[in-house]
Structure 1
Amino acid sequence: MTTAVAAPFRFFSLQVVRTLRIGPSLVRVTFAGQDLRHFFSDGRDQSLSLFLPHPGQDAPAVPFELGWGSPRSSEAESGGGWWQGWRELPDGVRAVMRSYTLRTLRRDPDEIDIDFVLHTPAGPASAWAAGAAAGDRVVLLGPAVADNRAIRFRPPAGTDLVVLWGDESALPAIASILESLPAGQRVRVWLETHEVGNVRELVTAADAEVTWVVGESSVDVLREARLPAAEQPYVWIAGESGCVKALRRHFVGERGIDRRRITFVGYWRRGMSEEQLREAE
């Protein structure tokens, strides 16, 4: 008898199919590739690691051979292998690695969408997204199992109020979360953006109220907001690490919400690159 264990994550070799400007500082990039037949996800705030080439490279430099059509299981579970090999590649050669949220997975044909924030000044990932064109190649570390640990939005059974907060980096996750919620679920959302043109209607069957805060910090706005009475609230907050920590303290210390009913994710930290943030962690 043989026993096979499916790796929850694997590498995918993908190509850009098209891009779409969805706001003044937001661009949606659609990727496709034969590998996506092995890609499965339950959505919500599904986290992905994207490997991008430097200017002048026709593909991202990674420490293994994908063959551009043959997916390979990651060694992320053991904490070694590809990560150490990637770190040992020379600066300026080593692929740019950034974390993003899956926006949409479609079948027939197999495609995924990832939304990028275009920063000023642009970092390497933002600059890549601004100039992305059909045929550009990337490598993705993503899920091969639909329900995986890179999905963090998990309200406990019986949750009678969902509270969501995020900045522009969390907009794709919040949009996907709202799409996943059932009719009748009470939801209160705060979204922060620097550009009024990024404001849009978000699709959901839930009983949702969405507050956009444009051009200023939304942390104080949420602190002062009146929330509906709830016996079993669940809070999901993601975005800049300092804001996330401040809001977590607020919900636990000032609103008395059980910390076990709060999911918080620092997507980025002011003044630090993702490489610096990973080192700090």
Structure 2
Amino acid sequence: MPLLHVTAVEPVTPRVTRVRFTGDGLDDFPTWPDQQLKLLFPRPGHPVPDLPADRGDKYGMGWYQAYQAIPEAERPWLRSYTVRAHHPESAEIDIDFVLHDHAGPATDWARNAKSGDTLGRYGPSKVYHRPLGKADWYLFAGDEAATPAIATLLAALPAGTKALTYAEARDATEEQPIGDVHWVHRGDTAPGRGTDLLDAVRAADFPPGTGYAWLGGEAGAVRALRRHLVDERGFDKRAIDFTGYWRLALTQDDSPTDEDLADARERVAF
């Protein structure tokens, strides 16, 4: 499993920090929009271990079996993040970190990140490459966790493509220059607890023709958006790509809920 080494840290907004990494394999790094990596954050006093995968491992999960075998007190925290940009000329990538008010290990790490710090990396895996379906127009909707993916998806659209984009943020200071976006400000309401994003999409006038939707953010909010599109807007379920990037009151260390498993089964089905 390759390692990532910090080369630069810069603020994007008051609550988003961009970290640039270098590391083995980043000069010849396959890229696509909405590209996710697994990052391993070291526990205090325990450096990130080398977790080589068996080259004969059909599903590439040997590293995860080795990861699970590490005693829990030493095992790095595992989180998923989106590649915001790739710089092949310098063999670097950028990853944006949302600095949550109630900090977990990833936020704590990002707040204190400096050049030379090291994380573990697994991915990207082409198994998770899901190109957008063909449509007359596109809808993108998500919160801060989804903003990096939305930015890469918008940048990859052919010129002249019609797209409606709704991005949730706390206030105007959190807006980013990622294209023609309807920013939805939730104020001091905690992420995932309000319906501002859903209300904005529900009030939107959709263009004529066949639409394709990409939804990302807190899992419950994504489910509500998806139900609205299917039940109230007549979207075909196969015309919606959806990802619950995080779960209210839960982390990736917690077991999946029944709804998480149902979402996973449905994504595989399509």
TM-score per shorter chain, which class?
A: 0.7 to 0.9
Residue 141 of structure 1 is matched in structure 2 by: 122
In structure 1, the partner of 2:166 is 190
TM-score, normalised by the number of residues in structure 2: 0.86
Identity of aligned residues (%): 37
Correspondence list, 1:154-165, <5 A: 154-156=132-134, 159-165=135-141
Three-state SS of the structure 1 residue aligned to 2:168 is: strand
Per-residue deviation, 1:238: 0.6
Q: Give RMSD over aligned pairs.
A: 2.1
Q: If the length of structure 1 is used for normalisation, what is the TM-score?
A: 0.83
The alpha-carbon distance between structure 1 residues 277 and 113, as it changes in their structure 2 partners (threshold 3 A), is: farther
Residue aligning to 2:143: 167
Q: Secondary structure at the match of 2:2?
A: strand
Q: Residues 118 and 60 of structure 1: is their aligned pair in 2 closer, same or farther, counting only changes over 3 Å?
A: same
- 2:185 is aligned, of 214, 224, 242, to 214
Residue 99 (str. 1) matches residue 80 (str. 2):
yes
Structure-1 residue corresponding to 2:42 = 53
Supply the distance in 2 between the matched residues of 1:84 and 1:194 (Cα, whole angstroms). Answer: 38
Name stretches of at least 5 consecutive residues in structure 1 with no aligned partner: 1-10, 66-71, 204-208
Are residues 1:271 and 2:266 paired? no
Q: Which amino acid aligns with 1:256?
A: G
CA distance in 2, matches of 1:83, 1:40: 21
- Distance 1:202-1:80 versus aligned 2 partners, 3 A rule: closer
Aligned residues of 2:18 and 2:95 also touching (Cα < 8 A): yes
Matching residue's letter, 1:113: D
Shift of the 79–141 alpha-carbon distance from structure 1 to 2, 3 Å rule, reads: closer
User: In the alignment, is the contact (CA less than 8 A) between 1:25 and 1:195 conserved in 2?
Assistant: no
Matching residue's letter, 2:204: A
What's the CA shift string for 1:153-177, capped at 9, x where partnerless? 4222xx1110000000000000111
Q: Secondary structure at the match of 2:21?
A: strand
**1:74 and 1:53, CA in 2 relative to 1: closer, same or farther beyond 3 A?**
farther
Helix, strand or coil: the match of 2:37? strand
**Match for 2:181: what amino acid?**
V
Matched residue count: 251
**1:118-168 Cα deviation digits (max 9, x unpaired):** 011210011001111100111111237xxx232334222xx1110000000
Partner Cα distance (1:74, 1:169) in 2: 33
- Aligned-pair distance for 1:277? 4.7
Structural mapping, 1:80-95, within 5 Å? 80-95=61-76
Structure 1 segments of 4+ aligned residues over 4 angstroms from their partners: 72-77, 277-281
Distance in 2 (alpha carbons) for counterparts of 1:235 and 1:93 = 40
Name the structure 2 match of 1:7. none
Distance 1:278 1:13, change over 3 A: farther
Aligned match of 2:203: 224
Pairs within 5 Å for 1:239-250:
239-250=217-228
CA contact (8 A) 2:215 2:241 kept: yes
Residue 16 of structure 2, aligned match among 26, 41, 45: 26
1:115 aligns with 2:96: yes
In structure 1, what is the Cα distance between the partners aligned to 2:81 and 2:226? 22
Q: Check whether the contact 2:6–2:115 (CA below 8 A) recurs between aligned residues.
A: yes
